[in-house]
Chains A and B, each alone.
Chain A
Amino acid sequence: MLFFIEVVLSGLMAGIMYSLVALGFVLIFKASGIFNFAQGVMALFAALTLVGLMEKFGFPVWLSIIGTIAVMILLAWLIERLMLRQLVNQEPIILFMATIGLAYVLEGMGDILWGSDVKVLDIGIPQGASDWMLDTFDIYIEKLEVFAAATAATLVVILAIFFQKTRIGRALRAVADDHQAALSVGISLHTIWVIVWSVAGIVALVAGIMWGSKSGVQFSLSLIALKALPVLILGGFTSVPGAIIGGMIIGVGEKVAEVYLGPFVGGAIENWFAYMLALAFLLVRPQGLFGEKIIERV
């Protein structure tokens, strides 16, 4: 029983890491209807930039983080200027392919700028097992994962406040609701896109920091985007709570399946189990758990 709880808890923590990536997807999809495949690479790029600033220029942690945020905002501006603005009114699949192209560009740029070797990212996040949990409940939990969970929670709260209370947040929600109506009341789509991509870039930075501290900053980091996709379809492309809860369901399901089912079929089922789980959900609810109901008219 204790072992089961431990498995579930570690699944929950891993799930929150997925949610962090999925969150970036949801933000961009909501605001611009773009399925941003480059989100994972953005996380990698942000983490690379952070490590690069810290190592090559010897900046302290806080300055590097601010620097990286500035880089991500600049990137968002460039993406809007050079890519999105040119592709207005194109079909979703074209925009999707463009983001894959963007992923290539970012990957190449990150490698050229900062080198492609595996880097250690240490910004002072506590590492190792949590002693308190180990002593009181005899359950093994990584401190880093608890920290990641707390960060994710904070991030969601900040985002919620940002979306509900601020002027820009209201504009963002208006755009997500109806592009044309938002345009007609004087909201600039271009500005909103820059803001949304910047926010997604900052979320990517947080995800990059967490994953980077966990397993080093390396190319495989960009593949976590693939891990976040089942989370997305499970939670719905348009729902922030969906991304969080979907992430947890996927994380727990994956870990439990790996531990209890994996040995019978040869292991390493993590790669596809999440997709199958999400697929099973989709067959019952085609719009995901929290997605908006799809209404179609002829």
Chain B
Amino acid sequence: MIYRETGQFKANYQDDQALFPIEQDRYVIFGILFLVFGVVPYLMNEYWLNAILLPFLIYSLAALGLNILTGYCGQLSLGTGAFMAVGAFSIYKLMVAVPDLGFIPLVVLSGLITAAVGTLFGLPSLRIKGFYLAVATLAAQFFLIWLFNKVGWFYNYSASGMINSPPMTVFGFTITGPEGNMTAKYYLVAAIVAVFALAAKNIARGRIGRNWMAIRDMDIAAELIGVRPLIAKLSAFAVSSFYVGMAGALYFAVWLGSAEATEAFDINQSFLVLFMIIIGGLGSVLGSFLGAAFLVILPIMLKNILVDGLGTDSALATHLEFIIVGVLIIGFLIVEPHGLARLWRIAKEKLRLWPFPY
């Protein structure tokens, strides 16, 4: 009854091409933005912000990036962890070398560097497809992590091989380093994620996005109707890596504070982000957020229930957690292989007709 588009006429092209053509959707989006920026920071304590919301937002950005590549363009990638590492190490080098530029430009810059690296590793996609490509992107994963681990220049020859983010400020608030202000961190990350999620939604419905989807659905047919695979595939790799790189930069500089290549960005990281987009929904911006939320909150919840609630000892709990996560993933794939975003779409269809479905 509430979610109905009757009476909403599209009288001009502008209305027709609106990002959210249905009025209720716009209210929901503004509502969410209001919640995110106006309500949540005052309700949550530091623990919640740090343990759940920051990683959720950062992983959403990474999932968004991978979703552009895998969900929209159909190129399976297992190198997300390494591309996050590229973002993290670029921002580290930049923060040390040119701190005067300001934090936000540095984040964008490290995203651009990652985009360049990602394009380079996207080149094989022109020749190989499917799982062959997935394994080829593993080459990026192992090679880059090895590089960051072995070549001292990347971590400024620190004895432990760790990189630590030096303190930086945005609008007078300390964002990085041990003195960082939690609420400021949250605002910064949320703002970046909001802006780039909007951008992703726009890119995906525009000319480039349609080219990607054509390539995903059938690349030969797309080529025949005039989509250039070289441009489409490489642009997908570039944009995707840009997002993933920024996520990596924020992950290291804002959330972790210090990182070591082999631990923070190993292959499990790549799988985690891939799970997020599969569970959330391939080819959906909303899905990236839902998947990230699910996989960030699930382990914390399980740990709380198992260790605090049931009193299982922590070693057994870790193993049980593995099993439960695995079973849930398989179960999810069986019940709804198109992800949480699909459930939302079905709900929307139902809501349109509710309460008189016929």
Contact = CB atoms under 8 A, between A and B. Distances in A.
Contacts of A103: 326
Chain A interface, >50% SS class: helix
Contacts of A106: 326
Interface in A59-100: 82-83, 86-87, 90-94, 96-98, 100
Contacts of A272: 139, 142-143, 146
Contact of A102 (B130, B145, B330): B330
- Of the four ranges (under 10, 10 to 19, 20 to 34, 35 or more), the interface on chain B belongs to 35 or more
Interface string B130-150: 111001101100110110011
B128 A286 contact: yes
A266 B267 CA distance: 22
Contact of A268 (B129, B150, B325): B150
B353 interface: no
Given A93-B278, A108-B322, A276-B139, A101 B146 contact: no
B319 interface: yes
Interface stretch (B108-116, B192-200, B217-225, B244-252): B217-225
Interface string A199-228: 000000000000000000000000000100
A44 B136 CA distance: 25
Contact of A104 (B129, B218, B323): B323
B51 interface: no
Contacts of B21: none
B319 A116 contact: yes
A101 B124 contact: no
Interface stretch (A118-126, A128-136, A171-179, A277-285): A277-285
Nearest to A275: B139
Contact of A276 (B143, B224, B267, B322): B143
B89 to A, nearest CB: 16
Given A100-B275, A283-B124, A275 B131 contact: no
Given A268-B146, A269-B146, A108 B320 contact: yes
A229 B127 contact: no
A111 interface: yes
B136 A279 contact: yes
Given A112-B319, A265-B150, A268-B146, A233 B136 contact: yes
B322 A282 contact: no
A283 to B, nearest CB: 6
A109 B321 CA distance: 10
Contacts of B220: 296-298
A267 B221 CA distance: 45
Contact of A282 (B124, B145, B327): B124
A107 B271 CA distance: 16
A87 B129 CA distance: 23
A98 B333 contact: yes
Contacts of A271: 142, 145-146
B189 interface: no
Given A101-B329, A282-B127, A298 B138 contact: no
Contacts of A91: 337
Contacts of B43: none
B148 to A, nearest CB: 12
B139 A298 contact: no
Contact of B326 (A86, A105, A233): A105
A272 B145 CA distance: 9
Contacts of A247: none
A101 B330 contact: yes
A52 interface: no
B139 A108 contact: no
A270 to B, nearest CB: 9
A91 B70 CA distance: 13
A229 B138 CA distance: 9
Contacts of A278: 135-136, 139
B329 A98 contact: yes
Contact of B333 (A35, A101, A226, A283): A101
A275 B330 CA distance: 29
Contact of A92 (B127, B130, B316, B319): B130
Contacts of B143: 272, 275-276
Contacts of B146: 268-269, 271-272
Contact of B337 (A94, A229, A279, A296): A94
A24 interface: no
Given A98-B330, A271-B142, A282-B136, A111 B325 contact: no
9 contacts: A98-B334, A105-B326, A108-B319, A108-B320, A112-B316, A265-B150, A266-B151, A272-B143, A282-B127
Given A82-B330, A112-B316, A278-B135, 12 more contacts: A87-B333, A94-B333, A101-B325, A101-B326, A108-B323, A112-B320, A226-B138, A268-B149, A276-B139, A278-B139, A286-B128, A297-B220
Closest 3 CB pairs of A and B: A104-B326, A108-B322, A275-B139
